[in-house]
Structure 1
Amino acid sequence: MAARKSTARKRPAKKCPVCKGTGEVAVLVRVGRKHRVVGQQNGLCLTCFGTGDAPTD
């Protein structure tokens, strides 16, 4: 009789503290010679690379 395999339970991934799990962050849009701020657009979170999971050290 074969021994039973125990399945390891995965812990739920922690959310990224920068983007709070969404994978996107607001990025300012600057224009002109004086770099005036004219708005915001969504950008990829560089901490988690858009996955939304907290980075592992």
Structure 2
Amino acid sequence: MTTSQSKAPAPEVKDCPVCKGTGEVSRTVRVGRRHRPVGQQTGLCLNCLGSGQAPD
């Protein structure tokens, strides 16, 4: 006799709205007296803590 196991559907995972699912966010780096932008620095997304998934 065989039994079939029915699995519950996996919950749909949504991307984090802040980092768009990448887990990283970019900030403009400014230097000098006039604070001119020279580039961007990436860091960990504090909304999802780098997982890329929307927090509950």
Q: TM-score, normalised by structure 1?
A: 0.70
Aligned positions, number = 55
Distance in structure 2 (CA, Å) of the matches to 1:30 and 1:21: 26
Q: List alignment gaps of at least 5 residues for structure 1.
A: none
Deviations 1:3-57 (A, max 9, x none): 643211102310100011111111232445x58243211111100011110000x
Cα RMSD over matched residues? 2.3
**Map of 1:17 onto structure 2:** 17
Q: TM-score, normalised by structure 2?
A: 0.71
- Once superposed, which parts of structure 1, at least 4 consecutive aligned residues long, lie more than 6 Å away? none
